[in-house]
Amino acid sequence: MSINFGQIADEVLINLNGYTFEQDRTTYLTEAVTSTTSPSSSPTILKLASTDSVGKGIVEINEELMWVDSFDRVGNTATIAPYGRGYLGTTATTASVDTKVTIAPTFPRYVVKKAINDTIRAMGSALHGVKQTSFTYNAAVTTYEFENLDIKNILTMSWQEVGPSKEWIRVRRWEFDSFADVATWGSGSQTVTIGDYITPGRTVKVVYLTDPAVLVNNSDDFATVTGLPESAKDVVVFGASYRLLTYLDPARASQVSPQADEIDSRRPYGASQAAARQLFALYTQRLAEEVSAQQESYPTRVHYSR
CA pair distance 95, 32, nearest whole angstrom: 6
Least confident of 17-31, 59-73, 185-199: 17-31
pLDDT at 259 over 50: no
| CA 148 vs CA 188, 192, 216, 292: distances in Å | 5, 14, 19, 28
Q: State pLDDT tens for residues 209-258.
A: 999 999 999 999 999 999 999 999 999 999 999 999 887 766 555 544 44
Q: Whole-prediction pTM value?
A: 0.84
| 103: CB partners within 8 A, 6+ apart | 24, 25, 26, 27, 53, 54, 55, 57, 58, 59
**For 164-185, what is the mean pLDDT?**
92
- Which stretch of DSSP H or E encloses residue 261? helix 258-263
| pLDDT band (50, 70, 90) for residue 24 | confident
Q: State pLDDT tens for residues 62-100.
A: 999 999 999 999 999 999 999 999 999 999 999 999 999
Domain boundaries, the chain: 1-22+106-128+214-298, 23-105, 129-210
Highest mean pLDDT among 21-35, 259-273, 279-293: 279-293
User: Secondary structure of 158-226 in the HEC alphabet?
Assistant: EEECCCCCCCEEECCEEEEECCCCHHHHCCCEEEEEECCCCCCCCEEEEEEEECCCCCCCCCCEHHHHH
